[in-house]
Each structure stands twice: as structure tokens, then as C-alpha cells.
């Protein structure tokens, strides 16, 4: 039976995503009512700048006092699209204290304080949903948290930042340098005026922490994620990658150890074979490759950012939370029963592509090979070319602990015959 009294929604934040959420709630109101079993009503919109014209939103709904909106006593669900740590954290906590379930798109907050927020939601018997915090419109959190709940996920590898993928794709397809590709991304609106969070991997690391917690049923915080940006990736790196039949992507990689006793979480640029599904992900799209014990390999692909795509994920959560409200139930909360430790990057086993500037004289290759051997790192291939007393040496290793590879690089820097380390990059996806 359809309930006639509406569920009232407070929208916290009305920027690019929030305005799209409000638009869809208005234009699809009848459909949402049928899907939920009751009307949903936008009962208030908390903003910082009330004088800004917001098309399609009744000015009477707009307020600068988000706390008062949550405390007024008639709000059922809050949608938080403010971003950042504060005031978002305080507002979500206030919502729980006043019996309000929360839908959030706040990856930074969830990566830092997800455990505390989940605990608060559970304490008050409420929902905390956040599909939009990872990979925009791509259904990923719910499939991992619910559809794969009976399976064992061993590895997640993905492109979870559209800005960096756009830049690297342009460098690969056009031969552009990093700055040129970044300028194009900025002009098209894919990159912020300050792109640090994207290009230095902070955004991807926050998403990696959230996904690792879901995949491995353990608590993984932002500080647990190894992070390396992509600002040093060059056209020469792409040329080397092409010679290997690879391309370069900024990847989030989450793995369960072979013995099942620990996990690792990392974000860094890596070469991947052109045959790998992630290699064909172009422009600002995202894709996540999940490897589960029973289900096998699964690929999730789609737009990872933008107002409408992200709003789609927010509205999907709104429908789920609203249905739970009507049923006087809650959906799945945090699952952290395994309490697995997060191993440091040094324990990760991977391959390296190392480009060295060396003296062009006899014995250099033998000296370099000896250095690798002394650190227990086996060489897969070597390519050398030289001219006028200078040469470049490209070494691709077999898989070895990252600590051993790092130690090898430090030792190489001390050799008299090595003029410099031109580039270092991991090789993944094989």
C-alpha cells in the first residue's frame, strides 16, 4: 500500500552534485514515489551562499544553518554532498543523533573516519550509504558489499580518478607532455584549478581505503594506503611502455596476501599490458577490476565523476535508504570482522621498469646486473643504447618485494657508472 505522507530529505550542499540531486528529485518525483512506496520531499537545502540563484529550487527551502535544519524534528534522510572533513563530520553526527539516516558522497571523510561514522549509525539504528563516494555513477560499493557478500575478494585493481586517466590517456594517444595534457584537462573542466588532490593520488587513495575495507572486511584508513602521484610520468615513459606492449595508468591496487593474514592498499602509476581490460579505459572514465574466489574476474566501468553521474549514485542510495525507513529496517553496515593488518609497501611483491642514464663503456651492464643480484632481484629483460659516451639502460625485473627493489635503486644511484635514474615505474596486470 502506498504511503501518502512524504519522507522528508535535507540536502546538505548544493554545488555541482547537490544541484543535480535536487533537479532529479524534482523531475523524477513520480517515479521515485513508485519505486520507494512513498513520496520523497526536498524539505531543506543547506548552503554557504544563499544569494546564489539555484534554478528549480524554491528559495524558501534554502538556509545557511545546516545544524538547525537537521534538528528541526521532521527530517528523515540527509544527503551530504559538502565534501571535506568539517563541517560534514559534525553534521552527519548530528543527523544520527536526531534519528536521520545519511547518504554521503564524501570519500575523504569516509576514508578517514568511516569506522566512527559506521559506529554512530549502528548505535542509533540508522543507515549510512555512500555509493557516490567511489567511482561516481558506477555501481560498485553495493555489489561488493551485498552481491559479493558470500564470496571472498582477493584483489581489486582499478582506475578511480577520471582527471588522471584523462591526462594519461592524452599523453599516450597524442604524445603530449604532462603539463600540456593537464592544461587541456583544466580547460575542459576535468581538472580543478588546484589539481593536487587528483594528480598526487590523494583522491584515489581515499577511494582505495574505502574499497579495501569493503573488499577485505577490515578497517583500512587513508593513512594505511601507499600513495604516489603521477606528475613525474613523462613522454619517454610512454615510449618505453609502448615498446613493452603496455600503457600507463594511475591505479588503485588492493590485495589480500597469499596466506590470507594481511592486506595491502596502494595507489601509484603503473605500466599495464595493452591486453588488460583496464588498458582500454579512455578519457575521464573509471573502471575497477575485481577478482573474487568464486565469481572470478568482474569489471565495473563507467563515468567516475561529474554532477549527473554522481547524482545518479546518490539517488540510488536515497531510494534504498527510503525503502529501509518504510520497512523500519537498516541495510548492511560496516563489516570489519577480519581485523587484518595492512602491510607496508615494502612487503608488496611487484615488477619494476627502471630506466638508467649510464656511461657508455664496457662493464657497465655487468656492474648493474651484479647490483640487482646482490639485492636478490632477478632481471627479466635489459635494453641498452648508447652514443658519444652516454647511454641509457632499461631494466625490467621479475617480481620481487618492493623493499628489495627500492634497495636496488638506492644502490644503483651510488655506482660511478650510473649518471642518474631517469624513471622508475611498477609493472602490473600480468
Catalytically active residues are 207
Summarize the chain as % helix, strand, coil (round to 5): 40, 25, 35
Q: How far is CA 258 from the centre of its chain?
A: 24
Nine cell digits for residue 235: 613522454
Bridge partners of 80, per DSSP, are 12, 104
String of DSSP letters for 141-175: HHIIIIITTTS-EEEEEEE--HHHHHHHHHHHHH-
Does residue 158 contact residue 278 with C-beta atoms inside 8 Å?
A: yes
Nearest CA to 395 out of 380, 417, 373, 412 is that of 380
Q: d(Cα 80, Cα 72) in Å, to the nearest integer? A: 17
Nearest CA to 13 out of 41, 58, 54 is that of 54
Q: How far is CA 162 from the centre of its chain?
A: 10
Q: How far apart are the first and last CA of the chain?
A: 53
- Give how far Cα 359 sits from Cα of 143, 364, 384, 387, 429, Å: 53, 7, 11, 10, 33
Amino acid at each position: 500500500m502506498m504511503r501518502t505522507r512524504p519522507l522528508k530529505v535535507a540536502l546538505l550542499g548544493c554545488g555541482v552534485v547537490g544541484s543535480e540531486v535536487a533537479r532529479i528529485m524534482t523531475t523524477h518525483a513520480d517515479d521515485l514515489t513508485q519505486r520507494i512506496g512513498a513520496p520523497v520531499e526536498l524539505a531543506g537545502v543547506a548552503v554557504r551562499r544563499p544569494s546564489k540563484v539555484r534554478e528549480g529550487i524554491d528559495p524558501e527551502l534554502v538556509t545557511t544553518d545546516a545544524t538547525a535544519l537537521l534538528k528541526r524534528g521532521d527530517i528523515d534522510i540527509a544527503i551530504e554532498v559538502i565534501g571535506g572533513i568539517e563541517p560534514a563530520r559534525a553534521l552527519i553526527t548530528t543527523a544520527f543523533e536526531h534519528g536521520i539516516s545519511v547518504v554521503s558522497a564524501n570519500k575523504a571523510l569516509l576514508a578517514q573516519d568511516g569506522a566512527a561514522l559506521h559506529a554512530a549509525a549502528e548505535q542509533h539504528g540508522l543507515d549510512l550509504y555512500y555509493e557516490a563516494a567511489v567511482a561516481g555513477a558506477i555501481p560498485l560499493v553495493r555489489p561488493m558489499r551485498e552481491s559479493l557478500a558470500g564470496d571472498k575478494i582477493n584483489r581489486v585493481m582499478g582506475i578511480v580518478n577520471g582527471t588522471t586517466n584523462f591526462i594519461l590517456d592524452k599523453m599516450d594517444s597524442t604524445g603530449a607532455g604532462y603539463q600540456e595534457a593537464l592544461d587541456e584537462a583544466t580547460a575542459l573542466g576535468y581538472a580543478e584549478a588546484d589539481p593536487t588532490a587528483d594528480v598526487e593520488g590523494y583522491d584515489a587513495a581515499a577511494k582505495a581505503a574505502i574499497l579495501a575495507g569493503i573488499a577485505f572486511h577490515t578497517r583500512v584508513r587513508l593513512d594505511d594506503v601507499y600513495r604516489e602521484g603521477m606528475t613525474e610520468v613523462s613522454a619517454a615513459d610512454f615510449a618505453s611502455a609502448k615498446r613493452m606492449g603496455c600503457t600507463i595508468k594511475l591505479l588503485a591496487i588492493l590485495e589480500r596476501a597469499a596466506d590470507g593474514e594481511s592486506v595491502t592498499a596502494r595507489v601509484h602509476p603503473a605500466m599495464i599490458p595493452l591486453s588488460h581490460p583496464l588498458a582500454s579505459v579512455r578519457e575521464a572514465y573509471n573502471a575497477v577490476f575485481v577478482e573474487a574466489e568464486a565469481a572470478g574476474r568482474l569489471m565495473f566501468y563507467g563515468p567516475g565523476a561529474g554532477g549527473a553521474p554522481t547524482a545518479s549514485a546518490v539517488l540510488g542510495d536515497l531510494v534504498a535508504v527510503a525503502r529501509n525507513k518504510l520497512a523500519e529496517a537498516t541495510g548492511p553496515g560496516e563489516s570489519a570482522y577480519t581485523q587484518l593488518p595492512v602491510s607496508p609497501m615494502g612487503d608488496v611483491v611487484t615488477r619494476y621498469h627502471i630506466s638508467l642514464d649510464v656511461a657508455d663503456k664496457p662493464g657497465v651492464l655487468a656492474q648493474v646486473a651484479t647490483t640487482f643480484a646482490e639485492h636478490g632481484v632477478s632481471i627479466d629483460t635489459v635494453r641498452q643504447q648508447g652514443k658519444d659516451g652516454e647511454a641509457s639502460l632499461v631494466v625490467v625485473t621479475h617480481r620481487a618485494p618492493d623493499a628489495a627493489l627500492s634497495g636496488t635503486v638506492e644502490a644503483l644511484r651510488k655506482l660511478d657508472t650510473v649518471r642518474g635514474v631517469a624513471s622508475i615505474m611498477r609493472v602490473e596486470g600480468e
